[in-house]
Amino acid sequence: MAILSVNVNKIATLRNSRGGNVPNLLKVATDLERFGAQGITIHPRPDERHIKYQDARDLKKIVTTELNIEGNPIDSFIKLVDEVRPAQVTLVPDAPDAITSNAGWDTIKHADFLKEIVAHFKAQNIRTSIFVDPVERMIEGAAATGVDRIELYTEDYATQYPQDPQQAIAAYVKAAQRATQLGLGINAGHDLSLDNIKYFSDHIPDLKEVSIGHALISESLYLGLENVVNMYKHRLA
């Protein structure tokens, strides 16, 4: 069974929209774990428009499952991860002005850089993951860096799923099979939802973790946070 890590960026966005501390990010993270979430994911960006760097420090003190920090490994991000030492760091090649992540790494072009960053974090016993598109060459390039896991970028799957689930999942099945052959753990995230998560999970048998934020928080507006967390866990079983 893949574990569910909840991305709380949207909670931070809502908090920041009015200033102050409502909703309380730390309480939400604690509640999510109490409701059954098996991890908390954050993706701090340089402008701190949602997750603030201090949030990472504060969450480290209270998260009892796994803290996953995602981001582009610029200097400030590396220093934050070095300080916080989460269970997992996920390297994402997002531009500073990107609204959200929109592509995986070119692990061939950036091989030397990624090898250096992966080695840096693994030396501190932080599990490492690289965000990649479902392309076998990119999976092979990721494996060559010495990384522990990949995170499959699932926007294409989510977009195609309503029209043709079989076609939507095809590239991901091949990518996952190649990752397993190479000894890589498999995570996944981006636009996964209650509608499409079960089909994805059923077809990626070695899936270790999904990171879900936008859809889960949006669905919770209608269905309630505790209910939605357990609906995801049921679909992942």
Amino acid identity for residue 45 in this structure: R
* Distances 91 to 12, 21, 68, 192 between C-alpha atoms, Å: 21, 28, 11, 19
Structure tokens at 218: 């949006």
- Helix 214-223 × helix 9-16 angle, to 10°: 70
Distance CA 33, CA 39 (A): 7
Q: Taking Cα atoms as reference points, which of 88, 2, 60 lies closest to residue 51?
A: 60
Active-site residues: which are they? Answer: 43, 70, 190
Q: What are phi and psi of 20, to 5 degrees?
A: 70, -150
Distance CA 171, CA 149 (A): 18
In sign, the C-alpha dihedral spanning 49, 228, 201, 144 is positive
Residue 68 C-alpha from the chain's centroid: 7
